[in-house]
Structure 1
Amino acid sequence: MAIFTIIFPLLFMVILGFITTRFKFLNKEDINGISKFIFNLCIPVFLFLNMFQAPLATSLNTSALIVFYIPVLATFAIAFIANQVLANKSHANISASATYALGSSYSNTVLIGLPIIVSAIGTHVMGSVFFIITFHSALLFTLTFLLSQIKNQAVSFNWSQFVKNVLFNPVVSSITLGLIFNALKIKFPIQLENALSLLSKPALTGALFVLGANLSFYKIGKNWHLPALASALKLLLLPALVYGLGRSLVKLDEDLLAVVVLLSASPLGVNAYLIALQLKQHQATLASTVVLSTILSVFSFSFWLSILL
């Protein structure tokens, strides 16, 4: 019952978002407008405030970073090799395999991971969460693009633009700014802090609603074998590796172990699909994986929550 209590409100918002677009109550332009408000205003303010208020002395935990990122890189490598072995000739090049590896290891940490963690554990772990997700996109996207340059002159990539996009990404910049303000012990007038707190309230609810709405725009393709494998690697193997490393070898405390496992158990983030579009590799595969892994994450989250709580 406790697991259902945690999952249901989040699932309800995703389903509500899906229904509103599926039955044409809201169209794609409406969702784009809501998305801009949520992702360019509410979520950055939410991340900033939580990082600004986090206890820095206990937030940065190198053990948690190790427990999260070593399995992520291991899963990336396994998926890369799997694509080289299983894919047909058109999708067996290094760029395609790197894209598939990204689709098997990149987590939707902000839209899904954060709401699950807040509901299951509470906000006191937000500092640790933000230190982990700050490097998430930069590491995996950089690795994917670096591999894509090997023997693939057809892929032209603007590294200066990539660095600029990472540095000024709303997630990275808001967390970084919150960290700076926290470290410098800068204080806000109570009126401004209350106003920012009010603006941050729709962040997680809106993110789940937009996620559900966008699911109706993506389809699971006919060739479902690669998306199914990517979803299995993402939802089963990756969190299992994180759990095993954090429980047996590094031995994190219970709350921190739950944080890294739930982050790793999050489904594929849609940004990975955008990278696939840019590299012109596995576009249909990653679009299908976004949908399939998001649907299946209801069961994977229930499983991991039953073990962790």
Structure 2
Amino acid sequence: MISLGYIAKRTVFDTKMLPGLNQFVYFFAVPALLFNASSKESISNLLNIPALLAFMSGVVLTGLLAFVVSRFVFRETQAEQLVMRGLNGVFSNYAYMGIPLTFAVLGETAYGATVSIILAGNIFLIGGAQMLLETIRQKEVGIKPLLQILDRSLLRNPIFISTVLGLTVSANNIAIPSAVASVLDMLAPAAVPVALFCLGASLQLTRTAIRYSELGWMILLKLCVHPLMTWLAFLMLGVDDSVWLVTAVLLSALPTGALAHVVALKYDTFEKETSQIVVFSTVVSLLSVTLWMSWLG
């Protein structure tokens, strides 16, 4: 799909359509995917607080390392650029690669852990990154500006809204009208191909502002350091649930998710660099994820 997007851009695709397709992914397809995932799983299976805390600890440790290296080794000083580098280092391709991978390795026992981590990743990582970007762009300080930041980054965030609605439906056993369910079932599968097509259409294989050394570092950080930090966090916090451990490490070992590129496009920052990190980390992950699976299995 990435290759098709890249070829289409060079032949028949008008790149002026790219923002519209990305908006379709961001406002319709991905929310439908997350709503379906959260509404069809019981709350008790989704909430494993110690395991989620260990997973988020791995995210925090990796994010801090991304910030330190970007700031002091690669000398990046712009706050928005640092936020996007952190997001590239910790946000995995959860929904697009995570679900088939964990199901293939662990079967249905991993469903609750997989969906829970996907939801946490989208709410806290995508939502958190947008909140930081909105905060950086906010000129004023005080309660009103803070509410405006929350409004733009969360309360109007379709990913956050769809997840909350899905959890509400699950918690209260609300029946979804068949017509609505049919529309959601048609929209949700579009998230994967359209997002990857858009990624390919925006891909720049020519040299960008990011150095090759930093590109290599970001790929190493995402594919090796992040899962290692997740594994260490589970050990340090004494979380011994093997299904959650393997699921969390495998999901952390996945390449940078295409949704990071959607955020980059939305805020017009680190966009070309993000597309390269997503693509090249995906290619390298064919080997690295296999090695992680062998080691864990």
TM-score class normalised by the smaller sequence: 0.7 to 0.9
The C-alpha deviation readout for 1:132-174, integer Å capped at 9, x for no partner, is 222222334546776x69xxxxx84765443223222221111
Query: Alignment partner for residue 187 of structure 2, among 178, 199, 218?
Result: 199
Instruction: Give the secondary structure class of the aligned counterpart of 1:201.
Output: helix
Unaligned runs of 5+ in 1: 1-12, 150-154
The C-alpha deviation readout for 1:76-117, integer Å capped at 9, x for no partner, is 2222222333234xx347776555444433434445545644
Instruction: Give 1:40's aligned amino acid.
Output: F
Q: Bigger CA drift: 34-43 or 112-121?
A: 112-121
The C-alpha deviation readout for 1:8-27, integer Å capped at 9, x for no partner, is xxxxx333333333x42433
CA distance in 1, matches of 2:229, 2:28: 35
* 1:80–1:100 contact (8 Å) kept in structure 2: yes
CA distance in 1, matches of 2:83, 2:39: 35
CA distance in 1, matches of 2:19, 2:96: 15
Instruction: Give the secondary structure class of the aligned counterpart of 1:250.
Output: coil
Taking the TM superposition and a 5 Å limit, the aligned residue runs for 1:1-309 are 13-21=1-9, 23-88=10-75, 91-92=76-77, 97=82, 100-114=85-99, 116-117=101-102, 124-125=111-112, 126-133=114-121, 134-142=123-131, 156=139, 159-165=146-152, 166-214=154-202, 216-217=203-204, 219-221=206-208, 223-246=211-234, 249-268=237-256, 269-271=260-262, 273-274=264-265, 277=268, 286=274, 288-309=276-297
**Which residue of structure 2 aligns with residue 5 of structure 1?**
none
* 2:52–2:117 contact (8 Å) kept in structure 1: no
Unaligned runs of 5+ in 2: none
* 2:96–2:192 contact (8 Å) kept in structure 1: yes
- In percent, how many aligned pairs have the same letter? 25
Deviation of 1:51 (Å) = 0.9
CA distance in 2, matches of 1:191, 1:74: 44
* 2:87–2:125 contact (8 Å) kept in structure 1: no
Q: Bigger CA drift: 117-126 or 293-302?
A: 117-126
Instruction: Give 2:291's aligned amino acid.
Output: F
Instruction: Number of aligned residue pairs: give it.
Output: 284
* 1:220–1:289 contact (8 Å) kept in structure 2: no
Deviation of 1:70 (Å) = 0.9
CA distance in 2, matches of 1:68, 1:109: 13
Q: Bigger CA drift: 70-79 or 266-275?
A: 266-275
TM-score calculated relative to the size of structure 1? 0.74
Instruction: Give 2:42's aligned amino acid.
Output: P
Deviation of 1:307 (Å) = 3.4
Against the structure 1 CA distance between its residues 145 and 200, is the aligned structure 2 distance closer, same or farther, given a 3 Å change threshold?
closer
Deviation of 1:267 (Å) = 2.9
CA distance in 2, matches of 1:93, 1:30: 29
CA distance in 2, matches of 1:48, 1:287: 26
TM-score calculated relative to the size of structure 2? 0.76
* 2:57–2:233 contact (8 Å) kept in structure 1: no
CA distance in 1, matches of 2:27, 2:261: 16
CA distance in 1, matches of 2:14, 2:8: 8
CA distance in 2, matches of 1:105, 1:80: 11
